[in-house]
Amino acid sequence: MISVIVPAYNAAKTVGACLRALNQQTIPREQYQVIVVDDGSTDETASIAETCGVRVIHQSNRGPAVARNQGVESAQGDLILFTDSDCEPAPDWIEQMRAPLADPAADIVGAKGAYHTHQREWMARFVQVEYEDKYDRLARQSRIDFVDTYSAAYRRDVFLENGGFDPVFSTASVEDQELSFRLAQKGYRLVFAPAAVVYHQHDRTVGEYVRRKFGIGYWKALLVRWHPEKVVHDSHTPQTLKVQIVVLGLLGLAVVAWPVWPMAGWGVLALTAGFVLTALPFLFKILRRDPALLLIALPALALRAAALGAGLAIGYARFAFRPSPHKPVFSPLNRFAKRTMDILGALVGLIVSSPLLAVLAVLIKLDSPGPVLFRQTRVGENGRPFRIVKLRSMVDGAEVRLAEVVDVDQLESPAFKIKDDPRVTRIGQFLRRTSLDELPQFWNVLVGDMSLVGPRPEEVYMVQKYNDWHRKRLAVKPGITGPMQVNGRGDLPLDERVRLELDYIQSYSLWRDIVLLVKTIPAWISGKGAY
């Protein structure tokens, strides 16, 4: 069973078309239910929905976030789909939305579809090309962190276990982003499903467009207080847009200063040229898709940057002292300091260890046939896979012989260490006891896959067996050393290890990293738990 949730507030003009489209899907009607959550409408929304033969839930006006949560609580489906009351899903929308989540082994818990429109107004066409520009970026990514509820799917158990949409954003338009950021931080895989299309009525006028962008910027200011790492990057927002907001702000200051400081005129020219340069990739895209829009493209991009920038500025001022229920993992300052220490430490580590690595490489080659380095896919920050590099401590092809040593499916815990693993070579026993097999990971730190200090990186199949609580450890980059390494290493059961790692994440400080690095030395010498 699939449950489709449609929140609706005073949507009498559009909800009928939305529900007729949902009632005419390509999959059999008995395979899905449609639930409209009437969010305290004062028009005919509820009665129109009832005439369409769908289930209607009534609540007082508390916003779309609360309405969607209420719909999920009452849903019968294991798979939850969301769309909005002003959207008309394509006939195969449900079929396309469920496709990425059809295989439980794929480890996908959420999907995002796409907007299309039949409108021909200039502003609406511009908005559509904006979305298509973002979809081009999403299509190149195997996992995303940004799911909009106009066309979205989630596994119901994961949605409920993570509390659904945060009611703080009930009057905003970013509650969907906040949930997807939270899930992505735990390493849950979200994907883009471009064929899952809903048709929408985009902004028709400049005024509608500016008001919507201002509102997004305003609430985004609160959102990035909870998730400051998203200031730098998310899978949906073009980096050029952030540059344009900054450039336009500086341009405004230069224009104001020009009458009293003539040299500012050069700044006006340079910043204007810079803004145009950042817009060129988007302008070329418009040229290919809707050339007539070039007439309004630059002014529209300037309005977008100005509205978002103004919303962000006012939002930052409004929410500067508002307590946050979600403590950020790292503040921007901590993130910068940690990355700086990682780069310097990795460079020093690679230089100092290079003579030892050369000696160990010779010993490995003499001890057993196979490559010197062992590369394996591990799970990194926010569940992103990366290739870890280690000195080979096992016989070549040891991974395919794992079933000879242990039945992973029968383990009580997905994390395990084997004390007398027959696959470990003679030199490998020494490398593991001394943790010298980890030395090449300075390279992983240098390129940004890992940190000097953090939770240890896990293998993919282990993470797939995690419960939701275990996944909290994926919020930061894995480390060469960390709480596990100085507290027993392989002797620790998974839950105890995760408790130590979550305490490290929630109480992070740069000083704590330094302390853990120092404590690593006696732990390395003792070799306790290393096998």
| Contact between residue 235 and residue 137 where contact means Cβ atoms under 8 Å apart | yes
Cα 50 → chain centroid:
37
Structural domain includes residue 356: yes
Res. 121: pLDDT tops 60: yes
Average pLDDT over residues 114-119: 96
Instruction: Residue 432: name the closest of 378, 384, 375, 392 by CA.
Output: 392
Q: What is the pLDDT of residues 473-496, one digit of tens each?
A: 999 999 999 998 888 766 788 889
Residue 171 and residue 247 in one domain: no
Q: Are residues 84 and 163 in the same domain?
A: yes
pLDDT at 242 > cutoff 60: yes
Tokens encoding 338: 């940690």
> Does residue 413 surpass a pLDDT of 80?
no
Query: Does residue 375 sit in the same domain as residue 443?
Result: yes
Q: What is the mean pLDDT of the chain?
A: 91
Which region holds residue 493: left if phi is over 0, alpha if psi is between -120 and 50, else beta? beta
Sheet of strand 55-59, all strands in order from the earlier edge strand to the far edge? 55-59, 32-39, 2-8, 79-83, 151-155, 108-116, 189-200, 87-89
Domains in the chain, number: 3
173 & 232 share domain: no
The residues pairing with 287 across neighbouring beta strands, listed in sequence order, are none
196 & 213 share domain: no
Q: Which of 321, 299, 322, 305 minimizes the C-alpha distance to 214? A: 305
- The domain of 475 spans 332-526
Instruction: Give the 3-state DSSP-derived string for 486-507, with helices as H, strands as E and coil as C.
Output: CCCHHHCCHHHHHHHHHHHHHC
Residue where a domain stops, chosen among 323, 353, 373 = 323
pLDDT confidence of 406, banded at 50, 70, 90? Answer: low
Q: Please state, in angstroms and rounded to a whole number, the distance separating the CA atoms of residues 176 and 160.
A: 14
Of 323, 345, 375, the position where a domain reaches its end is: 323
Same domain (yes/no): 362, 314? no
Q: Is 268 part of a structural domain of the chain?
A: yes
- Say yes or no: 215 and 237 in one domain: yes
Q: Domain check: are 37 and 100 in the same one?
A: yes
Q: What three-state secondary structure class fits 154?
A: strand
User: Which of helix, strand or coil describes residue 363?
Assistant: helix
Mean pLDDT confidence for 383-398 = 90
- Residue pair 35/15 in contact by the 8 Å Cβ criterion: no
Whether 517 and 394 share a structural domain: yes
Whose tokens are 């079933």? That residue is: 403
- The residue among 49, 86, 163 whose CA lies nearest residue 58 is 49
pLDDT tens sequence across 173-188: 788 999 999 999 999 9
- The answer as to whether 29 is a domain residue is yes
| Per-residue pLDDT reduced to its tens digit, 188-213 | 999 999 999 999 999 999 999 999 99
Distance CA 188, CA 174 (A): 19
In a domain, 531, yes or no: no
Residue at a domain's end among 202, 225, 245: 202
Please tell me the predicted confidence (pLDDT) of residue 412: 59
